[in-house]
Amino acid sequence: MKICRFDDDRVGVVEGDAVRDVTDAVAAALPLVRWPLPIGDLFIANLATVLPAIEAALPSARSLPLSGVSLKSPVANPPHVIAAPLNYPLHVQEAADPAINHGVHMPAHDGFATPIDKYGLFLKSHTGVIGAGQKVILHWPGRRNDHEVELAVVIGRGGKNISRDDALSHIAGYCIGLDITVRGTEDRSFRKAADTYSVLGPWLVTADEVGDPANLDFGIEVDGEKRQRSNTKHLICDVPDLIERASRVYALNPGDVIMTGTPDGVAEITPGCTMHAWIENIGAMDVRVA
Ligand code: MN
């Protein structure tokens, strides 16, 4: 199932070029909560009851043209947005360019098995997350702001010290992630966590519909120009590995997002351009830059 959040926080199921509005059924299925709120995204945490409610509501749900709605991030309240640096071999190679590493974020990982063994993972701010229908607003005009297209994993069932063998069973679904980045000397958590610098969309595709996350073609074009092309089979640390590594440090919660890293071809975006990002079995989204 492809589940989107759109317009004034409505919930829809995407079927071809249509959105079926199931907002009322979702609201009825979610528990009422009060302060202090449980950590995690309420919708994702309750998927086991929400999904059957959506199924039951679908036959009579109002249908809207997909082109007429404004898509928000399918995960409304991700507690963590965890991200992997330097996780595709050809991106590690291209990151030797000083225009990308600025003499600080060096791709070299001598003595370590992988770049992530050296650098670890990093956090992006959940408050910087937007959806496909919102605009990326560049915070450092005049500097090189790049697109990074990535497979984004949405955790369904939380846990600590999740083993590689159990990892896939903790996934609710997937979406496309754009890890927008200004190149420079600052820490990743500063350069990559500005407001609007984390795009998730266009919708959440439940894990059963995506299949094996280790073999998905994906890419991005900017104003029609081919920029990045790869397949998740080239990940240095694959999805189960990233879940194992992340959950050793952060107890994972429903709605946590793991952005798995970007392949080669990172390049500049400028105000007025449109990014077209796509991942096999998930979909495609056009995101504008302001
Ligand atoms: Mn990235």
Q: Please write the tens of the pLDDT for every residue from 119-163.
A: 999 999 999 999 999 999 999 999 999 999 999 999 999 999 999
- Expressed in angstroms and rounded, the spacing between residue 247 Cα and the centre of ligand 1 is 19
> What local confidence, expressed as pLDDT, does residue 106 receive?
85
Please tell me the distance from the alpha carbon of residue 77 to that of residue 278, in angstroms, as a whole number.
23
Joined together, the tokens standing for residue 172 give 């609710």
Check whether 108 has a pLDDT greater than 90: no
Cis peptide before 36 (omega within 30 of 0): yes
- Expressed in angstroms and rounded, the spacing between residue 161 Cα and the centre of ligand 1 is 23
| 8 A C-beta contact, residue 253 and residue 79 | yes
- Expressed in angstroms and rounded, the spacing between residue 38 Cα and the centre of ligand 1 is 28
Place of tokens 């009322």: 24
In order of their start, the domains of the chain are: 2-72 (2.30.30.370), 81-288 (3.90.850.10)
Cα separations in angstroms, 216 against 2, 38, 188, 234: 17, 33, 26, 10
For the stretch 187-225, pLDDT in tens is 999 999 999 999 999 999 999 999 999 999 999 999 999
Reported confidence tier of residue 23, pLDDT bands at 50, 70, 90: very high
- Expressed in angstroms and rounded, the spacing between residue 34 Cα and the centre of ligand 1 is 35
Query: Is 0.95 surpassed by the pTM of this model?
Result: yes
- Expressed in angstroms and rounded, the spacing between residue 202 Cα and the centre of ligand 1 is 18
- Expressed in angstroms and rounded, the spacing between residue 238 Cα and the centre of ligand 1 is 14
For residue 197, give the nearest of 246, 142, 138 by alpha carbon.
Answer: 138
Q: Which amino acid is at 262?
A: T
Please tell me the distance from the alpha carbon of residue 55 to that of residue 37, in angstroms, as a whole number.
27
| 8 A C-beta contact, residue 197 and residue 275 | no
Considering only CA atoms, give the Rg of the chain: 18
Reported confidence tier of residue 261, pLDDT bands at 50, 70, 90: very high
Strand partners, 287: 275
- Expressed in angstroms and rounded, the spacing between residue 178 Cα and the centre of ligand 1 is 8
Cis peptide before 254 (omega within 30 of 0): no
- Expressed in angstroms and rounded, the spacing between residue 168 Cα and the centre of ligand 1 is 21
Cα separations in angstroms, 250 against 143, 159, 213: 33, 9, 22
CA-CA-CA-CA torsion sign (209, 215, 274, 148): positive
Place of tokens 């956090």: 123
Mean pLDDT within 103-127: 93
Please tell me the distance from the alpha carbon of residue 181 to that of residue 123, in angstroms, as a whole number.
13
